[in-house]
Structure 1
């Protein structure tokens, strides 16, 4: 009888210990809420809210509010929006994080050439990547194409032959490309280079 009582008591204690662990597991993941405003104290919808260093994120609603479950209590929360300077805060010891974004005039004033018109970058809905001449200065390379490798989102530069001086293959936004012309035998899928308004082959 004593053995039966001991076994029953052990099971009860084990069950209590198991359920006591649940709040601690829930504590490891905390939820933070907040609001993102502009300098005029107006809500900013569509802002990307990310737990820094992870792929965990969300966006603000029409009222500029967000709710994000964090993987750790001391996580860094970062907010980004085109036309505004990004900001970040530590969530340690906080359940509410509020942000006030300042306009980034540099990105707003950039002009984009889209082939048939000139529009400001903030009005463009196309995927655009840019790189400055300063970033490419004094870099050792055998061709201009190779300078772009790993420096522009969506641009992939590969040399399939490995031979010195061989022209690399450049693909933009994946391997499927829009043909822009024909040579003697094949469809031409290489990018169109324009320097100072002149097409360069």
Structure 2
């Protein structure tokens, strides 16, 4: 019998390993605090060169965006203590009504936004955001209610999962979810009830 040759359809890409926050910090520190190349960093951290480049580029982009958000806009005079420096609207039909001080403020904002980023800004920008995904089936309050139902009296301790599901009014979750929640709270099922 001839050996099976793998076709592109049969090949499955291996899922890239996830890069944790410590590795991201190491990558950014090595990139911006040492003279190591992207290739050397990738070899040291054992990730691909593309991953190193993506982490650095993404951190820079987010850090610059954060810096621009936190920099006071030249048109925002609410934080300004100098009342005489407020923007004069002037004639609305004039094409350019910026005063020299407004242009200077605008240039200062651009310089601040385009200046060198600190390592702290880059590390903060590379921090993983709030994880997205499926929310838990039962809230902590619902788990507390379920445990209280089981521990209420002798009869409820002998109930099956389906009976507990109905008694606690948790018909919208599976029996496995209820079992997992009870096990998390230290209640184990025996053949005769819950302990």
When the two structures are superposed, what TM-score results if normalisation uses the length of structure 2? 0.20
**Which of the pair has the greater relative contact order for Cα pairs under 8 Å at 6+ separation?**
2
Larger helix proportion of the pair: 2
Larger radius of gyration, structure 1 or 2?
2
Larger strand proportion of the pair: 1
When the two structures are superposed, what TM-score results if normalisation uses the length of structure 1? 0.19
